[in-house]
Amino acid sequence: MNYFIEIFNNQVLFSGFIAWLIAQILKIFTDFYKNRKVNVTRIVGSGGMPSSHSALVMGLSTAVGLKHGWGSDLYVISLVFSLIVMYDASGVRRAVGKQASLLNRMIKDLYKHKRILEEELKELVGHTPKEVFAGAILGIIVANYYL
């Protein structure tokens, strides 16, 4: 039972979680700025500005660096995994989102008045490099504040 309490008192985990939460909340505002309507479902959705994946992993990595040292093996491992997550967020997941957008347009063009799918494919899956960068900066700031 003590392990359960210890993990929730972990400053590194808390830094990453707070960075993720702030990023998710900010998505409501950035989505409003872009679309001029409030969409509270953005708080749980993927994609959008800033990248909560980037905020989470950079929050964790920064907290590890602050706590264990910038030259520690633990920080280097954390940083490498963070870079992989951010690359994936702006690469593979972004390509999937573009494919979903193209498929949705094709279906609309082919079947303007005929319903094919119950719902459209999710297009907002990945991130632009700017969204990933913003999330990474957010994670670094939050970790520096909480550690």
pLDDT in tens, 60-98: 999 999 999 999 999 999 999 999 998 887 777 667 777
**Residue 57 — very low, low, confident or very high, per pLDDT cuts 50/70/90?**
very high
Q: Examine the pLDDT at 119 and tell me if it is beyond 70.
A: no
Percentage of residues in the chain with pLDDT exceeding 70? 88
Asked whether the predicted pLDDT for residue 147 surpasses 80, the reply is: no
d(CA 119, CA 106): 14
pTM over 0.75: no
Top-confidence residue, 112 or 115: 112
Task: Please say if the pLDDT value at position 116 is more than 60.
Answer: no
Q: Distance of CA 145 to CAs 1, 16, 21, 116, Å?
A: 29, 11, 15, 50
- Secondary structure letter of residue 42 according to DSSP: G
